Amino acid sequence: MESKKRNLNLDLTKCIAVFTVLSVHFFYNNGFYSIPVSTPRMYLMTGMRTLFMVCVPLFLLVTGALMNKKTLSRRYYRGIVHTLFIYLLSCIVCMGFNYFYKGIPYTPLQAILSIFDFSAAQYSWYVEMYLGLFLMIPFLNLIYQNLTTKRQKQILVLTFLALTSLPTVINYYKELIPNWWQGFYPISYYFLGAYLSEYPVSMKKRFLTLLLFIWVIFCTIFNIHFSYGEKFVWEIYNGWGGFQNVVSSALLFALIQKLDLSRLPSLIKKVMIQISVLSFGTYLVSYIFDQIFYQKLNQTVLFMEDRLIYYPLIVPAVFICSLFVSQCFQFLYQLIFRKQKKR
């Protein structure tokens, strides 16, 4: 793939998204959620966790930016083959790891069923969500593309955000507005990504950076306040579809789209594109290396707060190992399906 034919800003967004996913898993696997938030290191980790939660929203925003012009066609539905192939390989590898490394047995029936119920690859909840979104995208695009003015599209995006994200803040103490639609946040991010790609934010990069910094600090203080002296409170307001992450991910997405990446060395562009292509598989198989590295970390460093200094080692290590396995998956995919195309 030549970088000229790609939107490098979206590739960079996917690179950041996959790395921040693995960063969120750092806190998921190192005991962060079992320790009271009452020390400076816990405050710092709360801030890091608050920032890194942009990961899943960024993936969904990129999906909206890339796929908002897709229409009903055989070619469109064939596009899911790559996703399913990488998912299947991830399931096989993860089950093999669980069997040989963790001693978890599988009967043939259990193995097959675990693939279909999205439990074979432990991080595959995203696959389950994405498959549903993929099936809806041509119809979501009919809605979006048939709105003829910027104002109409603004109302569409704001309507979905009001239904899915606003209740996460307004209804914290008492239900004041309908909250039934909160689980539909992937659609909100999809439309938001489509809108931001069509109508880039006019703010300057410095101002966007300042807004993002202030917002993350504010959300960090907010999260510390509601968790102070207790274990970290993971609530809907700071979850994937929560208002905190809608604002922070939208600001970061808008900021990345303003970067001029055309002058980057060709090698960096190629690496960025490759990581972007491999991001899905990297995310799925990272479970294996999370299990290996964090088990050793937690056994070696007994005090949870002391594990923070290993973040610059553990997360890049998980990333590189997972990226390598994902590259192997991609090689198999190209080997099999390119041969079929030649036939």
pLDDT (tens digit, 9 = 90+) per residue, 76-87? Answer: 999 999 999 999
pLDDT given for residue 60 in this prediction: 98
Residue 231's φ and ψ, nearest 5 degrees, are: -65, 150
pLDDT given for residue 204 in this prediction: 95
Give tens-digit pLDDT for 216-230.
999 999 999 999 999
**Domains in the chain, number:** 1
Which amino acid would we find at residue 313? L
| Nearest-angstrom CA–CA distance, 9 and 258 | 8
Average pLDDT over residues 2-20: 87
Give tens-digit pLDDT for 138-157.
999 999 999 999 999 999 99
What proportion of the chain, given as a percentage, has pLDDT over 90?
92
Q: Which two tokens stand for residue 97?
A: 């790891």
Nearest to 232 by CA among 6, 50, 14, 8: 50
Q: Which two tokens stand for residue 13?
A: 């967004």
Query: Residue 102: CA atoms inside 13 Å, Cβ hemisphere, count?
Result: 16
| Nearest-angstrom CA–CA distance, 283 and 280 | 5
**Per-residue confidence at 34, pLDDT binned at 50, 70, 90?**
very high
Residue 322, pLDDT above cutoff 80: yes
- Round the average pLDDT of the chain to a whole number and report it: 95
Residue 340, pLDDT above cutoff 70: no
pLDDT given for residue 3 in this prediction: 42
pLDDT given for residue 2 in this prediction: 42
Give tens-digit pLDDT for 190-211.
999 999 999 999 999 999 999 9
Q: Which two tokens stand for residue 223?
A: 């999260």
**Per-residue confidence at 339, pLDDT binned at 50, 70, 90?**
low
**Per-residue confidence at 5, pLDDT binned at 50, 70, 90?**
confident
| Nearest-angstrom CA–CA distance, 129 and 243 | 20
Give tens-digit pLDDT for 214-263.
999 999 999 999 999 999 999 999 999 999 999 999 999 999 999 999 99
* Residue span of the structural domain in which 271 resides: 3-342
Q: Which two tokens stand for residue 217?
A: 């600090």
What is the length of the chain?
343
Average pLDDT over residues 113-127: 96
